[in-house]
Structures are given as C-alpha cells and as structure tokens.
C-alpha cells in the first residue's frame, strides 16, 4: 500500500507520512492476475438456491469437540470445500498456522449465505480463536466465515490474502460474530470486501487493522448487520470504503479511508426502501479520488449519518448525494428507475459536530437531505437540486458557521443565532419556503445577511 499522510491524534496539528504495508506487498500479484479477472456469477439461476445444498466439509473437521492447531500448514485444493470446519458447538484454537485454500465455488448464494468454500468456516454456536497466522485463498473464497447465533470468531495478529471473486476477508452471516485486531488484509478480486456481513445479518468488529482492496466493487466494510471499525487504515482502489444494504449500522472511530469508485460510502437498499440505516464517523478522515464521487451517497433508503471531528476530502467537491437509485449486482455503477421501477427517493439526515467541511450537498429525483451543523462546526458550500424536485434543509447552532458559495433554495432553514451573524454570505442569498412551519421563526421576513447577501422567502 502506498504512503499515507496520517493525522497524529497525540499531536493535534502534526502531520506525518508513513508507509503502510499489507499482504499485497509481499505476494506474487502477477501470478494471481488471471484469477482476479474472474466475475461472480450472479445471473445463472439467480446465483443458485438460497438453502444449503450440501454439507460443509473440509479435511480438518471439528464437530461438537474441542481442538488445538499450532505451527502447522493446512491446505486444500478442491471446489466447494473448506480447509478447516468448526461446527456444532466446537471450540478450536489456531495459532502460528498457515491456511491455504484453492478451489472454486459452484453457487454464489452457497458461498454468501453459508460460507461454502471458505478457507475457515465456523458455524452453529462454535468458537474459534485464531492468532499469528496467515490465511491465503484463491479462485474465490472467503478467508474466515462465521455463521449462526452463538458463533464467535476471534482473530488477532493475522494476515489475510485473497484472489478471485467474492473473496471477502472476514465474513459473517446468520447472526455470527467476528472480533478482529491487529489484522492485515488484501483482496485482488471483484466484489471482495475486507470485512463483510451477509443475510441474515452478521456482526463485524475490527480494531487496529490495515485493509486494501483492488477489485471492482470491493469495499473496506460491507455492512449487513453491524460493522464497527476503530484505528483502521483502508484503501479501496475500485470501490467505496463502505457498502451498507438496508437498515444496518456502521460505526467508525479514528479511521482513515480512501475510496476510488462510486462514493466514499454507499448506503442503499437492494430491495424495497428501508428505514433505520445509520452511519457514524468520529475522529476520522474519508477521502474520495474520483471527479464525480461524493463522500456520502444515499439511495432508496431512509438513513442518518453523524460526522464528529471528521475530515471529508473529495476531488469532486461533493459532500453528500441523495438519490432515487441503487447499485447493480456488478457493484460498479448506480442505476435508477430504468432498472428497478420500485426504487424510491432517499431521505438522508446528516449531523456534523466539531468538523470543518468544504463542499456541496446535492439531492436528486424527490430525495431529501437534512444537514445540521453543531458544536463549533464550519461549512463552506451550498445545497442544490441535481435533477427533478428535491428537499433540502440546513440547521445551525450558535457555535457553527456557514460560508455560502452560491445562492441556495431550502425547504427548511433553522439557525439558533437568529441574527444570522454566523453566516458569511459572500454576496449570495438563502431562499426559504415561507410555507414551511420550520421557518416560522423567520416570520416571512426578508433580511440582509453578513457579506452582502440576503435571506428571502419564496
């Protein structure tokens, strides 16, 4: 992974450049180049049956028993086969061990929903501790898969490497849980996120980690359930830092994420519009590289996001997009009503505290964005409608400031400083809907703003 400029928490204004390494720095990437061109088959029979077709099996198999594995090399080269299976209430410790998996998965749904073909599959109220190990997979396989209520995997001081499609690093579903610390991950394949949940939801908790994905549609976190990341450096070359599908929860603290495709974070619903999705960043930085990439993107979803002491660095100058849209199965572009007539507008509520942000918020096709600044935050930018009608609301507390960069039309405008002295208009105006009850405090007045602009009703 390339050098990254990091904010040092212990030195508030100090910057340092360090080189962060991940498993790709010592792997033979050229040898896996063909593997990483493979596509996930999500079209044949809709990815296959959604019930378990066959027993999950592997050469190292523990069922209702305890075990210890240390200083060994475990391998398998077979399709639809794991290396290590821990099931039916087993407890297995794995230390100082290399796990190497080759072989393809026949059905995408079998791999996604049940962990078929994963290098390590832990299921059915089992517990596994993994430390000081290396887990390598090829041809499309998860490194570690946790499935089922009561199933818990603990991973520490471990490297994960994968090639091939849908090769997630940590993967949890069916209420399974993974706790990971001091982890390094790299995936080169498509749709191969570092830390992923699946349906029914899984729970992923990651601290002190480095994550690097190269394939299209491969995020750092893919939330179906709950995701928590603390002290994580992540780079997605051809994806966002986060995919979140449906009413899921993603919490990030002291992370530094870089995204190369779609948006910094992508929150959507792949079925009907759902409500209750949440996202938070605290003491973090999110960087987007593409000229059309927003930091935060919402589609076909009702969601909330909180940014506390967080930087959003965008090449596009766009902080937030809300749209009537979602993601294709290839995870490489957004689609709208032309592919799914049931898509509905997004409703995004974003609360900013103790942050300094520059950029615009944009809503499309009936979507809405409620943008709130509090606790000494400052914003330089505007709110606008990209296409069709949209609903935009901006709120400020007395400690926060807004510097306008264009005229803005708002459904709702709320300012705890009723004199509007915390607004630098630069000659631009705020137009508000006089019919909205949220604007009653303005009393339908037209007033001058600091900097020569005005506050006017429409």
List the domains of the chain with CATH numbers. 22-457 (2.160.20)
The whole-number pLDDT of residue 7 equals 46
Tell me the whole-structure pTM to 2 decimals.
Answer: 0.95
From the CB of residue 64, how many other CB atoms can be counted at a distance below 10 Å? 10
How high is the pLDDT of residue 11? Answer: 42
**Residue 54: predicted pLDDT:** 86
pLDDT (tens, 9 = 90+) of the chain, 458 residues, equals 754 444 444 445 455 677 899 999 999 999 999 999 999 887 787 788 888 988 999 999 999 999 999 999 999 999 999 999 999 999 999 999 999 999 999 999 899 899 999 999 999 999 999 999 999 999 999 999 999 999 999 999 999 999 999 999 999 999 999 999 999 999 999 999 999 999 999 999 999 999 999 999 999 999 999 999 999 999 999 999 999 999 999 999 999 999 999 999 999 999 899 999 999 999 999 999 999 999 999 999 999 999 999 999 999 999 999 999 999 988 999 998 888 888 999 999 999 999 999 999 999 999 999 999 999 999 999 999 999 999 999 999 999 999 999 999 999 999 999 999 999 999 999 999 999 999 999 999 999 999 999 999 99
Residue 327: which residues within 8 A CB-CB, separation 6 or more?
243, 262, 266, 268, 270, 299, 333, 334, 335
Note the pLDDT of residue 15: 58
pLDDT of amino acid 38: 94
79: three-class secondary structure by DSSP: coil
In 10 A of CB 258, how many CB atoms?
Answer: 22
235's tokens: 């780079």
CA distances from 447 to 158, 420, 423, 432, 454 (A): 61, 10, 13, 12, 6
**pLDDT score, position 14:** 54
String of b and e for 266-296 (b: at least 16 CB within 10 Å)?
bbbbbeebbeebbbbbbbbbbbbbeeebbbb
């Amino acid at each position: 992974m390339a050098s990254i400029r990091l904010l040092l928490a212990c030195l508030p204004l100090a910057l340092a450049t360090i080189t962060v390494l991940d498993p790709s720095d010592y792997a033979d990437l050229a040898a896996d180049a063909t593997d990483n061109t493979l596509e996930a088959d999500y079209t044949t029979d809709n990815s296959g049956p959604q019930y378990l077709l066959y027993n999950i099996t592997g050469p190292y198999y523990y069922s209702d028993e305890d075990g210890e594995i240390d200083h060994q090399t475990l391998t398998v080269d077979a399709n639809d086969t794991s290396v290590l299976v821990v099931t039916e209430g087993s407890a297995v410790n794995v230390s100082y061990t290399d796990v190497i998996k080759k072989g393809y998965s026949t059905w995408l749904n079998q791999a996604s929903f049940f962990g078929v073909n994963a290098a390590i599959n832990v299921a059915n109220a089992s517990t596994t501790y993994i430390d000081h190990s290396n887990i390598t997979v090829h041809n499309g396989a998860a490194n570690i898969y946790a499935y089922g209520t009561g199933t818990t995997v603990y991973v520490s001081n471990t490297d994960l490497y994968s090639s091939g499609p849908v090769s997630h690093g940590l993967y949890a579903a069916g209420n399974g849980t993974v706790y990971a610390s001091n982890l390094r991950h790299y995936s080169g394949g498509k749709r191969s996120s570092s830390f992923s949940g699946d349906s029914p939801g899984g729970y992923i908790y990651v601290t002190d980690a480095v994550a690097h994905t190269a394939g299209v549609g491969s995020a750092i976190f893919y939330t179906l359930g709950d995701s928590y990341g603390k002290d994580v450096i992540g780079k997605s070359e051809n994806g966002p830092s986060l995919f979140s599908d449906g009413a899921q929860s993603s919490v990030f603290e002291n992370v530094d994420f870089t995204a190369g495709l779609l948006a910094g974070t992508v929150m959507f619903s792949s079925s009907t519009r759902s409500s209750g999705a949440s996202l938070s960043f605290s003491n973090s930085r999110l960087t987007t590289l593409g000229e059309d990439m927003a930091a935060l993107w919402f589609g076909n979803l009702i969601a909330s996001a909180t940014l506390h002491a967080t930087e959003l660095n965008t090449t596009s100058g766009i902080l937030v997009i809300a749209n009537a849209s979602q993601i294709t199965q290839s995870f490489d572009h957004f689609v709208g009503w032309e592919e799914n007539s049931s898509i509905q507008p997004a409703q995004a509520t974003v609360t900013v505290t103790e942050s300094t942000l520059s950029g615009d918020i944009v809503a499309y096709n009936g979507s809405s964005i409620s943008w709130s600044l509090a606790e000494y935050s400052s914003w330089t930018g505007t709110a606008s409608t990209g296409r069709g009608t949209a609903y935009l609301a901006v709120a400020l507390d007395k400690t926060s400031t807004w510097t306008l960069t264009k005229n803005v039309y708002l459904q709702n405008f709320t300012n705890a400083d009723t004199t509007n002295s915390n607004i630098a208009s630069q000659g631009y105006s705020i137009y508000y809907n006089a019919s909205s009850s949220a604007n009653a405090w303005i009393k339908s007045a037209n007033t001058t703003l600091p900097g020569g602009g005005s506050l006017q009703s429409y």
